[in-house]
Every structure is written in structure tokens, then in C-alpha cells.
Structure 1
Amino acid sequence: MNISLDELRDAPVAALYRLYLLLPFADLRQGRVIELRATQAVIEDLATRRRGTIPYAAIVPSATSTASQPEPAPTPPPRVRREQFLLGDSVGFFDRHLCERIGTIVRLNQKSASIACNDTDGHWRVSYGLLRRIVDI
């Protein structure tokens, strides 16, 4: 690798820092990560089986690396909004003890709905995100 002094003067600081960190591994062509530590990775040279530590900042993965790309996170379902419920709708939800409650909406508040389950269970104030509509067939 032949680099001129002009190229080094014009190089960004991050590239110079990586070069400084990689000088002990100048002859390393292909390696694999053996161990991950708090701030460093242990790299093994595939040709010579020599091991050394390298800071994470100096690792630049190649485009042809064999590591699989992580799958994108699935998109969350759309948020339930107040406009999706009306007074008198039958809804269900799970309370803090994971018991299923079914009731009727008696009031629509800004962030929650007031639900009347029955005479013995009383009224519940439940966030719209925890409600699901009950459809009678």
C-alpha cells in the first residue's frame, strides 16, 4: 500500500485514527472475530493463526462479509385512536390481574374511555390502546 504524504494530510481524522489502530495488523488480509470484549474484539488472522486485539472503532466490515444482515423490524400495528370508538360500543380488555373484562363505553375521554362492565365490577377507565372491539354475531 503506497500512500503519499499529500494524501495523508488531506485524509479525514477518522481514517487516520483507523490507520493508526490497524498498524499492528498491517499484514492481516482476512481474519475472523474470536471474542468480543467490552471495548475491543479479538481477531485471528486466517493465514497465520495469529491473534490480536483491536478496538471496535478500527473495524470496517467489508461489503462481502459473510455475516447475515439483520432482518428489519416488523412494522407495529397502527395505533388505536379515540375516533375508532363510539358511545355504547361493546369492548373488551384485560385488567391488571389479566382477567378479561367486557363492557360498554359510557364516556370517551381524551386518552382513555370509561367502561361500564356490570353492576358488580363497576366502572373502568382504560386506554384506547388496550381496548378491542367486541362484535356480536
Structure 2
Amino acid sequence: MNPQGTDPKLIDALNRASSLELFQLSAIIERMLVDPRRILAVRTNMNLGQTVRFLDWRDGQMRHGKVVAMKDTQVTLHEEGTRREWKLPYAAVEPPDPVSPPATASARAAPPQSMPSRGDFRCGEKVSFDDRYLQPQVGVVVRINQRTATVDTGNGHSWRVPFHMLRQVFDI
């Protein structure tokens, strides 16, 4: 029972490994797959509505799906053929080509959004951003600097965040 595209020598080596060695290898691989740098490598060129290839873990086949949502550690894809939704880790998605434009006509027709700048934010305003570990942070702007805003998250931490990474938060 050899998964498609897997080197038979690798399968043989894994079959000879002890359960403890396989568990250690599994733990190492799991840590590597959730590394924010790897997630960013896939996420950087990915857009909502874009068609990407992903691995179906059940049979090892590559499938095509449209990006419908992107979270911190997983992406939601709508498979074109079966109309099925998949919630997958970014590691299961083939990194998109950096030069390919978004697949949908609506994404191409939309005017380019301008990057937020210094003038878009005020002291006391509630904002959110993703930290370097891709964890969402919410806080209040306490200072406007030349290129960054100082944001107090209320848990004893202050962050200096570039304006292009900030999003305004509206309480409803």
C-alpha cells in the first residue's frame, strides 16, 4: 500500500523504524508544518477567490479548489468538481505562483485598495493586527509615530506596528 508519488525507499525506511522513532519524527514534522514562516510562504501570494491545488489526504490526489476563507493556521477551499468545502492547514496547499493574478473576474475588476497610512489612525482608536506569530491582537492606539503606531493591547504589552498592518475595529 504505497501512497502515490512516495519514494519506495522512504516507505521501507519508515517501516523499519520503531514506534518511538516514528512518534519523534511525527512531532518534529508537526512543529515544522505550523511554523509561521512556512504558513506565510503559502499565504503571501494567496487571495480570496483564487484557484489553488491542494492535497486530498484521503487518497493522496491533488485537487483544485477556490479560496473562500483564510484563517491563522488554516484555509477554507471550495472544491470545484464536487462542491465540497475543505478546511485544511496551509501545508496541504501548493504555494500559488507569485506572478499569477487572482482567478476571479470580480477580483480583477476591483480597484486596488490603498494601504492604510498615518493619517488613517488617531490616538484612542481601537485597532487590530496580526503579530509575528500570526496571532490576532486587538488594542488601542496610544501614540502615532512617523512610520508606526504604538498599540496597547491591555495585557501589559505595547506593540509598535507599521500602519499597513493595522486594521480599524468597529464596535457594533
Q: Shorter-chain TM-score: which interval?
A: 0.3 to 0.5
Larger Rg: 1
Higher share of residues assigned helix: 2
Q: Under a length normalisation based on structure 2, what TM-score does the superposition of the two structures give?
A: 0.35
Q: Under a length normalisation based on structure 1, what TM-score does the superposition of the two structures give?
A: 0.44
